[in-house]
C-alpha cells in the first residue's frame, strides 16, 4: 500500500492555522498513520482541530492537539488603550519630530495616565519619548523613567578666575583625564567609597545584591554617548536669592551621566516583569507599568531611588576629586536628575511624575540645561508651571540621528566649530557633534514660561568617551536612553 501524502495546502483547506502545527501534523501522520486512506487521515485531523482537548491524552495525536490548544496569554488579556487620550501641552512644537509626538499621543491613552507634557527638546525614544513628562495614578512605568535611571547634571562653581583655563590648560586637561573613566563597560581597579554602597537595599533585593560588586567598581565613572565632564566659564549677571552667587565670572565644573550598568539592569529586569503582568498593544508595549501597591512595583521604586542616589554619588566622587586637586571647595553646587519618577501633587492629586529627559522645574527649583560641546548651558530656576507639570527640557535635544550625524558631519567641520568657540575636546565623536543638536537658544526661548535663566555655563575643556562610535543600523538604535 502506498504511503499517505498530506500537504500543507490540504491542512489549510480544512482550517489548520498557519504555523508549526502544519509541519507537525504532516510528519506525525506520515510516520505513524502512513497506511491510512487519505480521506480517513483528513477526517482524523479535522476532528483534532475541532476538539483538540479530546485528543490531548493520546500518545501520538496528542502532540498535534497540544499545538492547537491556545496557550494562556502572559499577564492575562491585552489591556486596551483608551479611545481618547488625556490632554497634554507641547512646548516648542515646531521643533519636535513626529515620532516623538506620536509616542506621546500613545502614552496619553494608557489607562493610568493623568497628565502629560512634551518639552521643546523632545525626540523619539522607547516607551515615552525623550523629553516626555507623564503623570500617572499610583503606578510607575520603568521605561517611562528610562534605562539610565537617575541620569543627571551636576555643576560646581568655584571662586577661581576662568582665565586659568587658558593659562594652565595642560593642568586642567590632565586633572580631567585622571578624575573619571568613560565607556559603557569602564570599571576602576581601585574603587572609590561612598555611603550609598552600604545602603540596606542592596541586601533586601536579590537583583541589587547581584549588581552591587560591579556598581562599586563603576562608582565615579561617566559612561558613554552624550555623557561628559567639562571645565568652563560660569557667568552670573545678576544676584539671585535662590542661586546665592554674586554677579561675576567663575570657574565651573559640569558633569552629565547616570547610574551606569546598575540602572540599565534594573530597568530591563522590571520592564520585563511589567510587560508580563500588563500586556499592552504593540506600539504601547514599552509603557507597561507596575502598581505601587504590588510587590514588584515596590521593589522597582526602591531600586530606582537607590540607582538615583548612586548616580548622584558618581558625580560627587568626580567633583570631590577635582575640588581636592584645586584645593578649593565650590561656592555652590547645582544638580538635578532628568530620568526619574517622583511622587508629587498635581491639581491637588497625588501622582507619579515621570520625567524622561526632562528637568524638574517647580517654583524656585534650580537646575542645569546643557547645550552641546560647543554651545552654552543654562543654570535655571523653575517657575512652577502647571501646564508643563513643573518640568522643563533637559538639554538642546537631538536634531539629527546618530546615523545621520556620522554620515553627514566631517571631522574638519567639528574641528572648525570647536576652534571658533575656543573648546578643547578630549574624546567625543561625530555622533555628538554640535550639528546633531537643536539650537539651545531656540529651545530656551520655547520655555520662557517654564524657567528663568540665572546663570550661563560656557564649555571650554570637554571630556567624553573616546571609543569609536558605533555604525548604527537603524534609527531606533540611534537612541541613547541616557539622553
The whole model's pTM is what?
0.83
The predicted pLDDT at position 139 comes to 98
For the segment 33-54, the average pLDDT, to the nearest whole number, is 84
User: pLDDT class for 76, splitting at 50, 70, 90?
Assistant: low
For the segment 414-441, the average pLDDT, to the nearest whole number, is 94
DSSP category for residue 84: S
Domain boundaries, the chain: 8-68, 150-258+302-331+360-478
- The 10s digit of each residue's pLDDT in 77-109 is 789 999 999 999 999 999 999 999 999 999 999
Measure CA of the first residue to CA of the last residue in the chain; give whole Å. 70
- Which triple of cell numbers denotes residue 208? 541589587
The predicted pLDDT at position 433 comes to 92
Which one, of 171, 340, 183, 193, lies nearest residue 260 by Cα? 183
Torsion over CA: 423, 318, 358, 110 (sign): positive
Burial of 172 (0-12, 13-18, 19+ CB in 10 A): buried
The predicted pLDDT at position 5 comes to 84
- Give the C-alpha distances (Å, rounded to integers) separating 99 from 95, 126, 192, 264, 358: 12, 11, 41, 24, 17
- The 10s digit of each residue's pLDDT in 337-366 is 999 999 999 999 999 999 999 999 999 999
Q: Using DSSP, state whether 389 is helix, strand or coil.
A: coil
Q: Check residues 5 and 272 and name the one with the higher pLDDT.
A: 272
User: pLDDT class for 125, splitting at 50, 70, 90?
Assistant: confident
CA angle at residue 253 from 248 to 255, to 5 degrees?
A: 135
Q: What is the mean pLDDT of the chain?
A: 91
Element (H, E) at 473: none
Q: 47 pLDDT exceeds 90?
A: no
Q: 22 pLDDT exceeds 60?
A: yes
Q: 70 pLDDT exceeds 80?
A: no
Residue keyed to cell 554619588: 313
* Percentage with pLDDT > 90 across the chain: 75
User: Please, how many CA atoms are within 13 Å of residue 420, restricted to the half-sphere of its CB?
Assistant: 10
Q: Check residues 466 and 355 and name the one with the higher pLDDT.
A: 355
Among the listed ranges 67-81, 275-289, 304-318, 462-476, which one has the minimum average pLDDT value? Answer: 462-476
Q: 475 pLDDT exceeds 60?
A: no
The predicted pLDDT at position 55 comes to 83
Q: How far apart are CA 123 and CA 397, in angstroms?
A: 7
- Give the C-alpha distances (Å, rounded to integers) separating 233 from 163, 252, 376, 422: 9, 6, 10, 12
Q: What is the DSSP string of 270-322?
A: HHHHHHHHS---GGGGGG--EETTSHHHHHHHHHHHHHHHHHHHHHHHHHHHH
Among the listed ranges 129-143, 229-243, 392-406, which one has the minimum average pLDDT value? Answer: 392-406
Tally Cβ neighbours within 10 Å of residue 440.
22
User: pLDDT class for 209, splitting at 50, 70, 90?
Assistant: very high
Which one, of 79, 58, 55, 481, lies nearest residue 277 by Cα? 79
Among the listed ranges 57-71, 171-185, 387-401, which one has the minimum average pLDDT value? Answer: 57-71
For the segment 450-474, the average pLDDT, to the nearest whole number, is 82
User: pLDDT class for 154, splitting at 50, 70, 90?
Assistant: very high
Q: Which fold has domain 150-258+302-331+360-478?
A: tRNA-splicing ligase RtcB (3.90.1860)
DSSP category for residue 398: B
Amino acid at each position: 500500500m502506498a504511503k499517505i501524502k498530506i500537504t500543507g495546502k490540504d491542512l489549510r483547506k480544512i482550517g489548520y492555522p498557519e504555523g508549526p502545527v502544519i509541519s507537525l501534523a504532516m510528519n506525525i501522520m506520515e510516520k505513524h498513520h502512513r497506511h491510512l486512506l487519505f480521506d480517513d487521515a483528513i477526517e482524523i485531523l479535522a476532528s483534532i482541530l475541532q476538539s483538540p482537548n479530546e485528543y490531548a491524552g493520546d500518545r501520538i495525536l496528542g502532540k498535534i492537539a497540544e499545538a492547537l490548544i491556545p496557550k494562556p496569554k502572559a499577564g492575562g488579556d491585552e489591556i486596551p488603550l483608551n479611545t481618547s487620550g488625556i490632554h497634554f501641552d507641547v512646548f516648542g512644537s515646531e521643533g519636535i519630530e513626529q515620532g516623538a509626538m506620536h509616542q506621546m499621543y500613545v502614552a496619553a491613552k494608557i489607562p493610568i495616565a493623568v497628565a502629560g507634557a512634551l518639552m521643546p527638546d523632545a525626540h523619539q525614544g522607547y516607551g515615552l519619548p525623550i523629553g516626555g513628562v507623564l503623570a500617572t495614578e499610583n503606578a510607575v512605568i520603568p521605561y517611562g523613567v528610562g534605562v539610565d535611571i537617575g541620569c543627571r547634571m551636576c555643576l560646581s562653581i568655584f571662586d577661581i578666575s576662568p582665565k586659568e583655563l587658558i593659562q594652565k590648560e595642560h593642568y586642567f586637561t590632565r586633572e580631567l583625564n585622571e578624575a573619571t573613566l568613560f565607556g559603557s563597560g569602564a570599571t576602576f581597579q581601585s574603587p572609590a567609597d561612598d555611603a550609598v554602597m552600604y545602603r540596606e537595599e542592596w541586601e533586601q533585593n536579590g537583583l541589587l545584591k547581584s549588581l552591587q560588586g560591579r556598581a562599586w567598581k563603576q562608582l565615579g565613572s561617566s559612561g558613554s554617548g552624550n555623557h561628559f565632564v567639562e571645565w568652563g566659564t560660569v557667568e552670573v549677571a545678576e544676584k539671585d536669592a535662590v542661586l546665592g552667587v554674586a554677579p561675576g565670572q567663575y570657574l565651573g565644573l559640569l558633569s552629565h551621566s547616570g547610574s551606569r550598568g546598575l540602572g540599565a539592569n534594573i530597568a530591563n529586569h522590571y520592564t520585563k516583569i511589567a510587560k508580563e503582568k500588563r500586556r499592552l498593544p504593540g506600539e504601547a508595549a514599552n509603557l507597561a507599568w507596575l502598581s505601587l501597591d504590588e510587590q514588584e512595583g515596590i521593589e522597582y521604586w526602591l531600586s530606582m531611588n537607590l540607582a538615583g542616589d548612586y548616580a548622584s554619588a558618581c558625580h560627587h566622587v568626580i567633583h570631590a576629586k577635582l575640588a581636592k586637586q584645586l584645593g578649593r571647595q565650590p561656592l555652590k553646587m547645582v544638580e538635578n536628575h532628568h530620568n526619574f519618577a517622583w511622587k508629587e501633587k498635581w491639581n491637588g492629586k497625588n501622582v507619579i511624575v515621570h520625567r524622561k529627559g526632562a528637568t524638574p522645574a517647580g517654583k524656585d527649583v534650580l537646575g542645569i540645561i546643557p547645550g552641546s560641546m560647543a554651545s552654552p548651558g543654562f543654570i535655571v530656576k523653575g517657575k512652577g508651571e502647571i501646564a508643563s507639570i513643573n518640568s522643563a527640557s533637559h538639554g538642546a535635544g537631538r536634531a539629527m540621528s546618530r546615523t545621520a550625524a556620522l554620515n553627514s558631519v566631517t571631522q574638519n567641520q567639528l574641528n572648525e566649530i570647536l576652534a571658533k568657540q575656543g573648546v578643547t575636546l578630549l574624546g567625543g565623536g561625530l555622533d555628538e557633534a554640535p550639528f546633531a543638536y537643536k539650537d539651545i537658544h531656540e529651545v530656551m526661548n520655547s520655555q520662557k514660561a517654564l524657567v528663568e535663566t540665572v546663570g550661563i555655563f560656557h564649555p571650554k575643556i570637554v571630556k567624553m568617551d573616546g571609543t569609536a562610535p558605533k555604525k548604527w543600523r537603524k534609527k531606533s538604535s540611534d537612541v541613547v536612553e541616557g539622553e
